[in-house]
């Protein structure tokens, strides 16, 4: 039987044997939220696929992907399931403490939803203070540099990045093309106004060229769920290149992290 890399596939005796190797544990988190009219709402599936490939290449063990995250700005659209901030923090803390209690002190959060990160940061800081262990967080969809965006989308560059656009649309086309509905895309002219100002991103309005944070919802920003980017420019080929970049970056980080001392000095 081949070597296993997913915790969910192991018997407890198999995992007990692996404990002697002091493995790095990869903790994938995603979200159940709208991604525009053309893509499935379960974007945690992308995190799960990428985490599995990372685990095998880096010879680490991935825990089951948590499909629900903090995504309150998508609450007006049916089908999304968002955890309360305190619930999310407690879920992450419980997962980490279960692993830490068995002597596993090399944990890495693999975060596939940018909105989770403020809560992840609060939690890993608390664990550092309480347990003396450092837990890094890799934000999956924030690994692309402006130069990478220019190479992937010569016409748009970093403007291709956005909720409803890339990287998720292309990565979906790469891994789950049968689930996509590209025929449903209908681009809008521009962002709506809120408080008499143009909306920006998922939680701000623009004033004198500067983002001012406001508690807006996705429906305050747009009607089709495409907050920014242009999914008509997405492709499976681009998705393959993005996936490989994410996997390669994460594997290289994990190889470095295996040798790191995670205990606070």
pLDDT value for 124: 98
| Gap between the terminal Cα atoms of the chain | 41
pLDDT for the residue numbered 1: 73
Contacts of 29 (CB under 8 A, 6+ apart): 44, 47, 65, 66, 69, 92, 109, 110, 111, 112, 113, 116, 120
Mean pLDDT of 142-148: 96
Residue 21: closest CA among 68, 53, 58: 58
Local confidence band at 30 (pLDDT 50, 70, 90 cut-offs): very high
Where do the domains of the chain lie, and which CATH numbers do they carry? Answer: 7-142+241-257 (3.40.50.10310)
Cα dihedral 157→108→45→145 (10° resolution): 0
How does residue 265 score in pLDDT terms, banded at 50, 70 and 90?
Answer: confident
The candidate with the shortest Cα–Cα distance to 114, out of 143, 152, 94, is: 143
197-200 and 193-194 as β-strands: parallel, antiparallel, unpaired?
antiparallel
What pLDDT sits at residue 190?
A: 84
To the nearest 5 percent, what fractions of the chain are helix, strand and coil? 45, 15, 40
Q: Is residue 114 pLDDT above 80, yes or no?
A: yes
For 167-217, how does the pLDDT look when each residue is reduced to its tens digit (9 = 90+)?
A: 999 999 999 999 999 999 988 888 999 999 999 989 999 999 999 999 999
**What's the average model confidence in pLDDT over 8-31?**
97
117-131 vs 85-100: helix crossing angle, rounded to 10: 40
This prediction has a pTM of 0.96
Note the pLDDT of residue 22: 96
Helix (H) or strand (E) holding 48: helix 44-58
> For residue 254, is pLDDT > 80?
yes
For the chain, what is the mean pLDDT? 96
Strand partners, 26: 62, 108
Residue 240 is inside which H or E element, if any? helix 236-257
Q: What's the mean pLDDT in 248-263?
A: 98
pLDDT at 147 over 80: yes
pLDDT of residue 243: 98
pLDDT at 238: 98
- C-alpha of 141 from chain center: 6
CA-nearest of 258, 240, 209, 237 to 105 is: 258
Q: What is the pLDDT of residue 58?
A: 98
Q: What is the mean pLDDT of residues 53-57?
A: 98
Helices (H), 77-193: 85-100, 117-131, 146-152, 168-175
Q: What percent of the chain has pLDDT over 70?
A: 100
């Amino acid at each position: 039987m081949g070597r296993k890399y997913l915790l969910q596939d192991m018997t407890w005796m198999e995992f007990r044997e692996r404990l002697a190797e002091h493995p790095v544990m990869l903790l994938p988190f995603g979200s159940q939220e709208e991604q525009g009219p053309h893509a499935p709402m379960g974007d945690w599936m992308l995190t799960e696929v990428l985490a599995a490939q990372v685990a095998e290449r880096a010879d680490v063990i991935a825990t089951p992907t948590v499909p629900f995250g903090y995504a309150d700005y998508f609450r007006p659209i049916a089908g999304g399931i968002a955890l309360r901030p305190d619930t999310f923090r407690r879920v992450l803390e419980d997962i980490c403490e279960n692993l830490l209690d068995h002597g596993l002190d090399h944990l890495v959060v693999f975060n596939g939803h940018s909105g989770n990160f403020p809560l992840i940061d609060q939690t890993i800081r608390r664990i550092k203070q309480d347990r003396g262990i450092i837990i890094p967080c890799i934000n999956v969809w924030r690994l692309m540099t402006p130069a990478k965006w220019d190479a992937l989308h010569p016409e748009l560059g970093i403007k291709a990045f956005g909720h409803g656009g890339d990287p998720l649309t292309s990565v979906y086309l790469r891994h789950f093309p049968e689930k996509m509905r590209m025929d449903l895309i209908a681009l809008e002219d521009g962002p709506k106004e809120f408080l008499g100002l143009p909306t920006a991103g998922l939680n701000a309005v623009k004033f004198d060229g500067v983002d001012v944070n406001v508690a807006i919802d996705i429906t305050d920003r747009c009607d089709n769920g495409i907050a920014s980017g242009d999914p008509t420019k997405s492709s499976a080929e681009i998705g393959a290149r993005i996936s490989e970049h994410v996997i390669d970056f994460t594997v290289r980080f994990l190889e470095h992290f295996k040798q790191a001392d995670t205990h606070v000095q």
